[in-house]
Each structure stands twice: as C-alpha cells, then as structure tokens.
Structure 1
C-alpha cells in the first residue's frame, strides 16, 4: 500500500479515489487519493475538511478528515491513536474520512468513489490559517525590540517569538487563537516580559497597522509540495512588501491576500504568564 495522494495543496475540492480500507467499527473510509485536508494528529491546529463521499446516487457525509497510518505489520491507527509522528519509518501514511451513518453497498473496498469537500468550510479555514501565520509574523516584528539576547530568526528576519513561546494554536473559520507562554524560560532567553506588559495596547495597534499594510498589498499566497503524497513536505509561501516568506506547513491557505478585507488581532495578557492572541479575518 502506498501513501494517500492528495490534491488539496493546489486548492482542489473534488476528486475520485479507489477505496482501499473500510473500518466499520470506527466508521472510516480510506482511499488511494483525496482532495480532503486531514487534521494533523501531532499538531492539530487546523480542523479537517468536511464534505461527501459518493458512488452514483449513493452518498455519505464525511464529518471530518483525519490522519491515519498502517504499520508494516498491518495495524491501522487513526487520528489521536497513531503512536508515532508523521513520517516515522515502518508506517504508511494515509487520509481517513470519518463518515456519518451506514455505508451503502455501492461503497466498498475496490469501488471508485467521488470525494467532494465543502467549499465554504475549506475557504473559511484557509483564511483562518493564512491570517494566523501573518499575525504571528506581525507579532514577531512588533516584539523584536524586546529581546536582549540573540535567538533564531523568523522568515522576515525578526527574532522568532512565535517559535520560542507558542504553546498552542487553534484555527477556526476566519480566525485563530494562539497561546504563548511568558515564563521563566522565555525571560532567560532574553525576552523583556515586563517591558511587553507595559506596552501591550500600543503593540497591538502596531500589529494591526502592519497587517493592514500587508492585506492592502494583496500578495500571492501558495503551497509548494515536495511530492504528491500526504507524507511529503509542504511549504506555505506568501509575498509581502518586505519580501517573500515561507515555512513548513501542512494546512490549506488562500491564493492571494486580496481574499481579505481585513485581518486584526487582539492581545490578552490577563495572566502575566500567558499571552493569548485572537486573530480575526474579514473576507473580501
């Protein structure tokens, strides 16, 4: 068995695939190809696509696409039950489609099914994911002067606060919520937490001004792939006024920043040890 071929990086919403595995106990269908983006089991920031799976007039609802893997000795693991990170040796990586209700007899192992993604749901999550990345880059830029020691740089050449402090990221339709730990280890790394606490409102304003500038520029956004399979690396790239940015990302994204009317953030430091950044995207 080979890894699932995927077409979502190019923006595909529909495609055909041959059914390879049906597990009725956990209600999943796995094929050799899919346009569905699955939620990642190790960093579940973007939810999986939803939609339908059909053969002729027989159709079932896909409630969520998730990662799956089959070990070399034939053990199937799905979603959070996968015991290894994606790409680990000894496993074949797949996309599973969680289904609702009973499977009609037309959908069976060996049948060719049509898979169709809910376009509105995908578009809203793609806007949320792109906005999340842009917000993190803007956050890095606006906090750059608060570092007293050298740390790794982000794609725009600013100290990578995102990479150093982010502890969780949750993308939803047209937005995201990111949490950053501002504890002792970050202060030891050279971050001026007190200086940040005294200037949160002013920095929020500067982040939103930078995001407005980027949205107004309307740069291209795209996903580059190392190969056709779910196990292959994918990189998000985006044109910004300061140059092109790019970093590894397994999710979906808009094609252009012209798809936004606005992107804004709000910063919450109610807990001095925890920054919560809420990002909101307004579609054009």
Structure 2
C-alpha cells in the first residue's frame, strides 16, 4: 500500500508529467521504524524541511512534524508492521507543470514501508570489499548534501560495484577527495582519531552521520574531525565505516590490498542503538 497525499491506495495516480520523474525534482527521506516509533524522526523531518526550502518548494501548512508522522504511521499500520521493524520511504515531489521552470512550487507526497528483519542495528561480520568509483564525480556543493531523487551517480556506481564483485564503492568529489559510499556516509578510523568528510566536500547530510558525530564528541578516547579524506589515507586506516539510517554502521573489511578490523565499529554500534532508543 502507498500513502499518496494522505490516501492509502494500491494504485497511486502518477502521471507522465510528474516532476520527480521528468527532472528529479523531488526530495526524500528513508526512516527506520522500530519499537513503535520512527527513529530520529525529528532529525529526518527538519532535514526534509531544510531541503525543501533550499529547492524553493512551498511547504504546506499541514506539513507539520506531527501530521507527517501520522501519515507515515498510517502506511506502517496498514502493512501490518506496527509491532515490527520497517524501512519507511517518504518522497516529496514538486507539483506538475512547467519545464525546467516550474509553474507551481507546491508539493505532494507519497510514502511506503517495507519490513526489516532486525529490530535494532546489527553489526555484519561478512566480507565487505569496496573500491573507488571514478567514472563520475560528486560536485562539492550544497545540492550534493541533499537527498534528492537525482541519484544517477549512485545508480551507475552500484551497477559498477555489482559487475566487479564489490559490496560497495566510495565516491570522489570533483577535487578528488573521498566523500561517501554509494549508500551512506564514510568514517575513517586511525588510532584515536576518527575522520568524516565535511559537508563542504559534498557528502550527504546524513542522519547517522550527525548521530555518530554527537556520540564521538562525548567520548574521551576518540577525537572526531570533519576533514577531507584523500584516497591515499584509505589504506593507512585501521577501520572504515559506512553509516546510514537503515543499517546503522557497516564495517568495510577490504579495500584493495588492505584489510580492516571492526573493533571501533562494535563499540559505536552499541552506543548508536542506545541513542536510537532515547531519541525522538
């Protein structure tokens, strides 16, 4: 079932003039639902509102924190997932009309949910090899930090990874700095220092990125730095971690000839699960 502008339906009426389809003129959030609540919902909501403002979309009066939460819970309940865990995708598209220049800056939305097996973030011990994706580059600008529906670099990078037997790829920006993985933010562990690319490099303004930075700032045994990461640093790292709202933390096990541990990943995952239980 799809929640299409507040109506639950199996057949939402998208037309050929949908601006998300024509121009990628849409933003989205993917939210983990666990234990009867949307994890880090406030962070997702305010990121969505900020993205809409940056893209000059008109935010409807009924797009309040409470109302949108209620709309997402509707689709969770109708799918029979209320007592389970789920991944919820909320997409906001600009209204139809116009070409590159919109005729209407108003918006509509649709949302759907899929069941997740695990109620909490679980650390995978499986092999997870990555490689750099160098066919296309991320622009080091504000637009690249948003979750828009224009993700063609991530699509082609995912195809490249599958064709070459990699679990994931790391993306470079136009300055040849490593900015993120195909499906999440990147953290590099070297001794007691943990680095993650700054937003100025064009990485996604990730919700898990924000949570981990907050956690790390409170830990005395680690120093967190938001700083550019060069490809040469990858093979010198002790650990490489990918983060997103659904998996939590995914340790990278191999990049080229270098293999990595996952001790810091294990420590941080427990703290991330605790933070998810307490967050609104």
Question: Under a length normalisation based on structure 1, what TM-score does the superposition of the two structures give?
Answer: 0.27
Quick check: which one's strand share is greater?
A: 1
How high is the TM-score relative to the length of structure 2?
0.27
Structure label with greater radius of gyration: 1
Q: Higher helix fraction: Structure 1 or Structure 2?
A: 2
